[in-house]
Amino acid sequence: MPDTRYKKVTDPTQMSMAFAEIFNNGRDLDAWISLYEPDAILYFGGPDPVVGHEAIRKALTPLVEMPGKIETRINFCAVNGDIAVVRGDCIGRHEGEITFAASSVEVVRRQADGSWLYMIDHAAGASLPSAWETPSA
């Protein structure tokens, strides 16, 4: 069930922007966690996913100290009923310089109250090289 203490995302195209708003306005870990389903999967900072609120909290903790601001734009959003796939493009800036750029792949689900939460968030999933460019193991 979504956390009612925080702003609800009522449009799946707003997920990345909600994440950026939290980053740019205080970096509240609880607010970030409120964007995820309890058993959500997050790929962030490594090849293996983390699962669930506590693991996601731990994975996102380094963002609290990261300097600068981020800006996001939605590349596309495909909705089928209560599930949406979103590609969000993100740029981080600090003191006028770009510090990172990434493109995410996000799977979000409409909740009973009409809000949307992350089921799967791959922070750099759309930034990965093509499988044709990656040597096979």
For every residue of the chain, which 3-state class applies, written as one string?
Answer: CCCCCCCCCCCHHHHHHHHHHHHHCCCCHHHHHCCEEEEEEEECCCCCCEECHHHHHHHHHHHHHCCCEEEEEEEEEEEECCEEEEEEEEEEEECCEEEEEEEEEEEEEECCCCCEEEEEEECCHHHCCCCCCCCCC
The pLDDT of residue 2 is 47
Looking at the domain assignment, is residue 1 inside a domain? no
Looking at the domain assignment, is residue 48 inside a domain? yes
The pLDDT of residue 133 is 83
The pLDDT of residue 136 is 63
- Residue 57 confidence class, pLDDT cut points 50, 70, 90: very high
pLDDT 10s digits, 82-134? 999 999 999 999 999 999 999 999 999 999 999 999 999 998 888 887 888 86
Least confident of 42-46, 65-69, 72-76: 42-46
The pLDDT of residue 13 is 96
pLDDT 10s digits, 72-91? 999 999 999 999 999 999 99
Looking at the domain assignment, is residue 107 inside a domain? yes
Looking at the domain assignment, is residue 122 inside a domain? yes
Q: Which amino acid is at 83?
A: I
pLDDT 10s digits, 27-41? 999 999 999 999 999
Is pTM beyond 0.85? Reply is yes
Domain that holds residue 122: 12-127
Looking at the domain assignment, is residue 136 inside a domain? no
The pLDDT of residue 85 is 98
Looking at the domain assignment, is residue 89 inside a domain? yes
The pLDDT of residue 47 is 83
The CATH number for 62's domain is 3.10.450.50
Q: Is the pLDDT of residue 15 over 60?
A: yes
Q: How many domains does the chain have?
A: 1
Looking at the domain assignment, is residue 51 inside a domain? yes
Looking at the domain assignment, is residue 6 inside a domain? no
